[in-house]
Amino acid sequence: MSTPKKLSALTRVPLRQAWKHEAGEFTPWLAQPENLERLSEELGLSELTCIATEHWVGDFKLDMLCSDGSDQVIIENQLEETNHKHLGQLIAYAAGVGAKKIIWIAESFRPEHAAALQFLNENSNEGLAFFGVQIELWRIGSSSLAPKFEVIVKPDNWTRIGREQARVATGSSPIKQLQLKLWQTLVKSLLKSAPRIKPYAPRAQHWLNCPIGRAGMLLSITANSREKRLGVELYINDAESKSQFAALLAQRKSIESKLGFELDWQELPDAHACRIAYWRPDSPIEDESKWKTYQEWIAEHILKMDEVLRPIVKSLP
């Protein structure tokens, strides 16, 4: 008879063993890109970028101001059980910076506070999302401490998608309804063919945005019904969009060589934003029999643009 293997015990450790202070130790740890990336994955959000820590909102300091590429995101931290004070701060900070996504991280959540976040999700408009995240520390035997994010509260996306579909069906044009259907189908397809691409929630509009790891820049998939063409583009809408466009344009030959195709470089001198695009002509979305072909084309080119452009845009000043 074989001797049973000896297994180590998994032990939960108080947060203060790793981080003595929220502002001085935990927030800087969370602000590191790799930790925000892990948090984003757990929440099912597009990639978060830290804009500022200890950000002043009136006379008070918000723990972390972030962006997911299109919306302001705030994070409020606690190294203990949730309390009423932090719930109030969360609402005040969200209003103060105009945040669309609100994340509360704590060692544990009181049932009343989890219920409050769920109530806010159920009764807020479509643009707002509240998340409750439990941060845990674990050790196996005498191993190093391992952090774990446990999502306690998040929006019911199924309900929100249903509301969006109902709103579009009753108040939008046939082409808007078709655009929403195209994007919803595409998101499901990308989940299998290009899982590293994380699109935002589909809307009844002619574009679908995806993060590229830098605030003020997005990878965007477009469907122009009038010109009957699809596009995959880098959309630059940063405060320094023109100088960033110029910096990328200076690398045009190298970028296009790595991509394997030429781009349409649009500085848009009369607008604040700029775009760098690749087009697929003769692609009317009204012909749903061709959607599978469109999805394959989009997946191939957005993956290539993400691969080539992501490290370049991250390295820009």
List of residues 6+ apart from 110 with CB closer than 8 A:
81, 82, 83
214 close to 223: Cβ distance less than 8 angstroms = no
Alpha-carbon Rg for the chain in angstroms: 22
pLDDT of residue 244: 95
Indicate yes or no: pTM above 0.75. no
pLDDT for res 159: 53
pLDDT at 42: 86
pLDDT in tens, 255-278: 999 999 999 999 999 998 999 999
pLDDT for 67: 87
Name all domains of the chain by residue range, CATH numbers in brackets.
Answer: 10-155 (3.40.1350.10), 158-315 (3.30.1460)
* pLDDT per residue as tens digits for the range 117-136: 999 998 887 678 999 999 99
- DSSP-assigned letters across all residues of 66-81: EE-SSSEEEEEE-SSB
pLDDT digits (tens, 9 = 90+) for 144-192: 899 999 999 998 765 555 555 556 555 678 898 899 899 999 999 998 9
pLDDT band at 65 (very low <50, low <70, confident <90, very high): very high
